[in-house]
Amino acid sequence: MLNILLMIILLIIIFIFIILLFGIRLTARWVKVDSDCDGCLEILILKKLKVYTFDFKSDDDDEDSDEEKEHMNPKRLYELAKPCFEYIKRFIDDFLNAVSINKLENYLIIGFSSFANTGMYIGYIWAISSIINSSVPNADLKAEPSFSGAVLNVKGSMNIDISPLKLVVPAIRLISKKEVRTLIRGVRNG
């Protein structure tokens, strides 16, 4: 009986190690045409096995509640985060090293009621998308102006591979700092 239990525990440990070694893939797809939004987020292990899927669609029956949610005071948040900036910056650098973008595609159609505004904003979008297209190897961001009125249509997809094994040490290093734990407690307590 003990041998079977140990074998099961060993198999679970091996499975977790394989997941940590090969990583997780996040796949997202989105479409927005007029007022209809549709999208999907999938989490895959071993880059093939689907573990979780989240579909999001637009709802026309949204009711705005009058209840005000309590938000944290931005000045207090800044005072808590100020001593942590170097630690968070280092963690973000390590996170970006553990993430690889396999595919990033987006097709945007944008238009405003004013031709001048449409031209101005499409120029900004083209400038930003050209920087992203040249810096990310598998990025394909396109934008098209629409001079026939106010419109915002988007269609895109992306695949991101995350290596959790590369994130374990930086996450432990980040959480081990007293200032970061104080920031987390302050955000949780409001």
Q: What is the mean pLDDT of the chain?
A: 87
Percent of the chain with pLDDT over 90: 54
Confidence of residue 144 (pLDDT cuts 50, 70, 90): very high
Burial class (CB in 10 A: 0-12, 13-18, 19+), 40: middle
Domain ranges of the chain: 72-156+163-189
* Per-residue pLDDT at 96 exceeds 60: yes
The residues, any chain, with a CB within 8 Å of residue 98's CB and separated by 6 or more, are 162, 163, 164, 166, 167, 170
Condensed to tens digits (0 to 9), the pLDDT of residues 111-142 reads: 999 999 999 999 999 999 999 999 888 899 99
pTM of the predicted structure, to 2 decimals: 0.70
* Per-residue pLDDT at 71 exceeds 80: no
pLDDT of residue 68: 46
* Per-residue pLDDT at 100 exceeds 80: yes
User: What is the pLDDT averaged over residues 176-190?
Assistant: 87
